[in-house]
Every structure is written in structure tokens, then in C-alpha cells.
Chain A
Amino acid sequence: MATDTIITYARERFDHESAKRVMREKYLAKMIFAHAGGLWKAGPELQATLISCPNGETILLDLYDTPVRVDKQELLALSHQRWQEQMTAWLIDYTEMQQQR
């Protein structure tokens, strides 16, 4: 490899902004989960909606605006678990990314 090429590659830097965007897209995809025949996105919006519903069975619109009958507690637990898992993984990934140069 030519010296100029080696110098050029040595000057290469990690692009934090692009990495942050890729990471965001990655974890937003991982928030999606299937339950009771519907697709859901784990997160504060779904959890707040579920908390506002009475206990037991309730009918919610999934990501495709399809009404789905769900058990409130079951869906809330699934959403909460996925949200926690993925946010923790996101934080670990983000911390590692910050150390890249």
C-alpha cells in the first residue's frame, strides 16, 4: 500500500453522528414485537395507553390500525420488558460508541 494511502486511512475517523443515527434505527426496529396477531411498538406511548385502560381484556389499534383484542396486563408486561431490555442494550452500545475514535 502506498504511503499516501496509509496516511489517508490513518486519518480516518469514526463518524459519531452517523453511528448514532444507525443505532437509533437499529433499536427502533428492535422495539417492534408481535402479540395476539397484532404488531406493537414497545415504549412510553403504548405503556401509557395501556395504563389508562381498565384491567382485563381491552381492544387497541396495532401499528397497522387493526383493532386487536388484548389482555392489558400481558401486553403491558411484554412492552415493558422489551422496552427495558432494548434501552439497556442501546445504552451499552452508545457508551461503547463514545469511546470510538
Chain B
Amino acid sequence: MTTGALLFAFNNERTDYVKLASWNAQRIRRFLEIPVAVVTDSADHPDLQAFDRVIVSEHGNSGARYFEDYGQSVTWHNTNRTDAYSLSPWQQTLVLDADYVVDSDSLKMVLASDQHFMCFRHAFDVSGSDNDFLMPTFGRYKFPMWWATVMVFCKSKRTELIFDMMSMVKQHWQHYRDIYAIEKSPYRNDYALSIALAMVNGHVLTIPSIPWNMASVLPKDRLVWNGSQWSVHFLDRNNNRRRVNLNGTDFHAMGKKNLEQALADHS
């Protein structure tokens, strides 16, 4: 069985996702020892040589999304995640956001599992806050949320169904938004995935997920990388400056600008 990672990298006017993904590809190879494919529309980007496979694809529909770290709405090309199943060249695929930093071999254990599909159910803020960003539910009816940031899947009928359902939710987003009473209008992969997983599982919510919580760095916090260790600088409840170190922990850098800045400062 072939196993590899698949990253989506569609640049917008503010973020060079291909650059982020190429940096991450090296870490994926180092820690997880698997090849990396990228799906992008930047066919002539100089950093594409960092990948084992380059899959050129259109970015699909785009939306504008407000990013706290940029302080403005930017174009968000993130709707073709539902094509991961058909685009992946691997039989077992690890789909990662370009801003999910791999800093350990923990995900190897998930790749060794026999489950058809897995993703994170819970996330936590490394600065210790109970931020709304990381709410484990969505919509007025508090439907449980699974994160599409990291997905591990094998090609199977069940997995194909999950992605087909995600596509259906995406195509009829307004309809599902009404059913689940989701206040914010932009389409979000996490919501589509959660709805799809519930449907495929017959609305029984005992869905296999990655058996630990996803560490997350919120856009409001500053990331610093010294080449071997990450640190997160933040304000606590009393507005005092605090920092915490991340050593050997994978994490989701939710502030793309912060991650880009941290990498630029180090290089």
C-alpha cells in the first residue's frame, strides 16, 4: 500500500501557501518518512521542487474570510478539500493544512491504524485560553465539530462516501447552513466534514477520531522559531506578557501571517 501526504496550497494576495507547504514538506519527510504531494494552481512556483508530486488543479470557488492576524478579509481558496480523495495519488493519504506544523512522529501511529478515516475531534489553545475559535461544536444546535485540518484516510467505499457527502454539503451550502443553523455565511470545510461524517455514520456520533487533541496557536498570538524550538508569545487574562515553548509538538498555526513571519525572521 502506498502512503503519502497531500497538501493544498493556493496562494492568495497575502499568503504564499506554496512556500509554507514546501517548508512543511521537508518536515513531513523528516518526521513521518513519507512522500509529499501538493495540489496547487501555481504551476511555475520555484518551491515546487520540494515536493515528490505536484498536482496542478484549479482552486474552485473562493470566498473572502476575515483573518485576525491580517486585520482584514482576504481571498480564501479552500473549497476543493473535498477533492482530496480523487486527487490523492496515494492509497493511504495524510491530508494536512499547509499551516499545520509537523514537529514529531506522532502521526505515524495514526498511519499505522486500520481505520478508514480519521481526523481531530478536539483542539486546544496552547496559551491556555478557552477561545471561541476552538469550540468543539458549531451552529445553534451545538453540533459536534471535527477538524478538517488533518485527515488520514484509506481509499475505500466508506471514505469515498465521506468525500461525496462533503461535496454535496459544499454544493448545497445554504441548505445545510439553514438546517444546522450556522450563523456565519462562508463555507467551512470543518463544518462540511462534520456533517458528512455524521451522515455516513448514520447520525450515530461515535466516529473514530485521532486519539489526542490538536494543539493550536491562535492568530492573536506571536510565533517565534529559533530553528529548533517554537515559542508562542501571548497576553494572559490580566494582559501580562507570557510565553510558552513548543518542543516536539505538532501544532496548527491558525495565523498564517504569524507563521510566515516566524519563518522569515529565522531564515
Which of B109, B206, B211, B247 touches A93 (beta carbons < 8 Å)? B247
Contacts of B186 in A (CB 8 A): none
Contacts of A45 in B (CB 8 A): none
**A-side interface residues, number (CB < 8 Å):** 31
**Cβ A12 vs Cβ B241 within 8 A:** yes
Contacts of B248 in A (CB 8 A): 26
**Cβ B106 vs Cβ A22 within 8 A:** no
Q: Which chain B residue lies CB-closest to A9? A: B241
B236 to chain A, nearest CB (A): 7
Contacts of B112 in A (CB 8 A): 34, 39
**Cβ A28 vs Cβ B212 within 8 A:** yes
One digit per residue, 1 when the CB lies within 8 angstroms of any chain A CB and 0 when it does not, for chain B 121-152 equals 00010111000000000000000000000000
Check: B240 CB closer than 8 A to any chain A CB. Answer: yes
Which of B115, B124, B234 touches A64 (beta carbons < 8 Å)? B115
One digit per residue, 1 when the CB lies within 8 angstroms of any chain A CB and 0 when it does not, for chain B 209-237 equals 00111010000000000000000011010
Contacts of A4 in B (CB 8 A): none
**Cβ A18 vs Cβ B106 within 8 A:** no
Near A by CB (< 8 A), chain B positions 76-120 give: 104, 106, 109-110, 112-115
Q: Which chain B residue lies CB-closest to A66? A: B114
Q: How far is the CA of A18 from the CA of B248 in the complex (A)?
A: 15
**Cβ B240 vs Cβ A22 within 8 A:** no
Contacts of A1 in B (CB 8 A): none
Contacts of A41 in B (CB 8 A): 211
Check: A53 CB closer than 8 A to any chain B CB. Answer: no
**Cβ A22 vs Cβ B126 within 8 A:** yes
One digit per residue, 1 when the CB lies within 8 angstroms of any chain A CB and 0 when it does not, for chain B 226-267 equals 000000011010001111111111000000000000000000
**Cβ B114 vs Cβ A38 within 8 A:** yes
Check: A32 CB closer than 8 A to any chain B CB. Answer: yes
Check: B63 CB closer than 8 A to any chain A CB. Answer: no
Which of B114, B206, B233, B249 touches A22 (beta carbons < 8 Å)? B249
Q: Given A15-B127, A22-B249, A25-B212, A37–B114 Cβ distance below 8 Å?
A: yes
Check: A63 CB closer than 8 A to any chain B CB. Answer: yes
A79 to chain B, nearest CB (A): 13
